[in-house]
Amino acid sequence: MTAAKARLEQLWRRGREFLGTEVAIMGGAMSWISERHLVSAISNAGGFGVLACGSMGPDLLAAEIEATQRMTAKPFGVNLITMHPQLADLIEVCGNLQVSHVVLAGGLPSQPSITRVRELGAKVVCFAPTAAFAKKLVKMGADAIVIEGTEAGGHVGPVATSVLAQEILPVVRDVPVFVAGGIGRGEAIVSYLELGASGVQLGTRFVCASECVAHENFKKAFFKANARDAMPSVQVDPNFPVIPVRALGNQATKRFMEYQHEVIARFRSGEMDQKAAQLEIEHFWAGALRKAVIDGDVENGSVMAGQSVGMVTKEQPTAEIISDLVGQAVAALEQRQPVLEAAL
């Protein structure tokens, strides 16, 4: 083993041990995309696949977990949305099927949820938007934290990954911390590991994996896009807040702007109350991701993508993607080695 490879092993050893994997690279949980085929491929390639439960009910989730277990003997996790009305039942499904890691996403999880996951023998992974939230989650029993910057695809917060890393990594040491958002190359992985991360999470980079079930049109949209094309959705009225969703601009994003104005006008005319108007706006995107990912309608569906989309230029097997990332990380460390030796 070269000195650079040994250094990489040292840098992400904590993350590898926590995940039970060869490399501390988690797959982001993307609805309609992170299902049995991609998840098992990531795990079989030495990374850590994460199933996206999304709006699945308990029976469907159980079937998806069992199907994934038939496709890989390696560890993988399940991402559950904290606002899901059947969250408690979904947690029991994970416990019954001996899922090793449960990721609680989409809001601050409750203490009973964290406690129950751990009682069932799984490790709990939670998302933290600030250092204060991270510390609170650790006290509540989270076994690991993911920090995700605004460069990521899908629902995003307002703060860049680089800033979150500087705020959180120096002060959250009790548990492993994984960094996500805008990561597309191994050099970036090394930089976050050297800042104190235990590993990373990538979503956009895996969308165009050969094993991913996304429609050919969806993948082609990624190949054509650059970083500036992945834009967050825009809120037109502060009285009707919208959680930003980063996706490639298309007819649907233009229509969403128009739709907000139309619904707000109906509210102002007395046709509906504010709560109904808010729900109407939120429901605009219902089914839009499936329309793009599965049906291939990339003009009228939601083509969620992170700003690293410009680094996705071709379809590759998942194992090749991970090998490329590791190779880039090792090469970056090899370039540092002569400088370090000269300084001694």
Show the domains of the chain with their CATH numbers.
3-214+311-335 (3.20.20.70), 226-304 (no CATH)
Looking up tokens 């309609």, which residue turns up?
A: 32
Looking up tokens 């050099």, which residue turns up?
A: 187
What confidence score (pLDDT) does residue 335 get? Answer: 92
CB atoms within 10 A of CB 129: 16
What confidence score (pLDDT) does residue 340 get? Answer: 52
Q: How far apart are CA 86 and CA 1, in angstroms?
A: 48
Is pLDDT above 70 for 150?
yes
Is pLDDT above 70 for 256?
yes
pTM of the model: 0.94
Q: Among residues of the chain, what percentage have pLDDT more than 70?
A: 98
Amino acid identity of 43? S
Q: Among residues of the chain, what percentage have pLDDT more than 90?
A: 91
Give me the chain's average pLDDT, please: 95
Residues 119 and 97 sit within 8 Å (Cβ to Cβ): no
Is pLDDT above 60 for 339?
no
CB within 8 A of 210, min separation 6: which ones?
315, 316, 317, 318
Token couple for 221: 């949209």
CB atoms within 10 A of CB 19: 29
What confidence score (pLDDT) does residue 1 get? Answer: 79
Amino acid identity of 91? I
Phi, psi of 125, rounded to the nearest 5 degrees: -115, 130
CB atoms within 10 A of CB 246: 22
Q: Which residues of 88-104 are buried (b: 16+ CB within 10 A; e: fewer)?
A: eebbbbbbeeebebbbb
What average pLDDT score do residues 99-116 get?
96
The SS3 assignment for 274 reads helix
What confidence score (pLDDT) does residue 342 get? Answer: 57
What average pLDDT score do residues 262-284 get?
92
Is pLDDT above 90 for 338?
no
Distances from the Cα of 284 to the Cα of 31, 232, 251, angstroms: 17, 15, 13
Is pLDDT above 80 for 214?
yes
Phi, psi of 242, rounded to the nearest 5 degrees: -125, 125
